[in-house]
Structure 1
């Protein structure tokens, strides 16, 4: 299964400037997902991180992986738009190489397990087949609160 940006936006609530996934290249329900973020100099965070030496913040690489995992969970388990995603843990995060404008960030997430609605993923992010970041991510879904 593949998804373009329009299909992603039907599933994720994120919007500019916080939507950090452009395409899902592969999705195998209950197993794994591969998503892509095209990193451009137009990203608002590059204005301050860092002037004259733009580097994508590591926390946003982690967020991009989490959004790819969110698409995976929403599709795999048919989670409705009445639910919201909550991060519950980030473990073993490592940043190997900087991500710069012009890079294509390819994120591979493997579902480790899902028990009682808690999703556990192992995520790895690559640029040109070189590992740039990795982390174990945990998230859950809860009903949106009104108000």
Structure 2
């Protein structure tokens, strides 16, 4: 067997691996703030997602929020002991869930459907969140029933669970 025949065989062996690597490189699995703003209608000070770290189409999304001492809610919640309100942690999880569903549809503003909360089950808040914390949100698609999507959501700080919930949402104007 000649060298050129060996190289041809090696090419076909390696090519599928190289193709897979190239396909993975081309997948948009992260999002920066500019891309997030293309999908979510929220704006400062109510945009609570800073970056998407990982996105698996139709399955899951991991996002982060850097909690800074400059957050407006810390002025009154609570003086001397700033805590992020639990309802805002829940809202941030909902924004991550909205990103997952909108991203799956590749629905960008201004023509994207508006996602709405329609229910929350099993909400639990386990630890306080304060300035300097980095919240990591994990949202996983569970199912869609009659136009309502259900998503499992968690929030962590330093790999410790701080909140969890099952979130339900729908798109405004969607058939039920």
Normalised-by-shorter TM-score class = over 0.9
CA apart distance, 1:78: 2.8
In the TM superposition, residue 130 of structure 1 has moved relative to its aligned partner by: 0.3
| Contact preservation (8 Å) 2:39, 2:107 | no
Structure-to-structure mapping, 1:18-97, within 5 angstroms: 18-81=46-109, 82=111, 83-97=113-127
Is structure 2 residue 48 aligned with structure 1 residue 17? no
User: 1: CA distance between counterparts of 2:168 and 2:151?
Assistant: 6
Shift of 1:80: 4.8
Structure 2 residue runs of 5 or longer lacking an equivalent are 1-28
1:7 correspondence with 2:7: no
- Tell me, in whole angstroms, the C-alpha distance in 1 between the residues paired with 2:63 and 2:31: 9
Q: Which runs of 5+ in 1 are unaligned?
A: none
- Structure of higher RCO (CA pairs closer than 8 Å, 6+ residues apart): 1
The Cα offsets for residues 9-57 of structure 1, whole Å up to 9 and x where unpaired, read as 1111100110000000011111111010000011110001001100000
CA distance in 2, matches of 1:5, 1:107: 15
Supply the RMSD in Å over aligned alpha carbons. Answer: 1.0
TM-score by length of 2: 0.79
Q: When you count helix as a share of all residues, which structure comes out higher? A: 2
| CA shift for structure 1 position 142 | 1.3
Answer with 1 or 2: which has the greater Rg. 2
Contact 2:155–2:161, Cα closer than 8 Å, also in 1: yes
More strand by share: 1
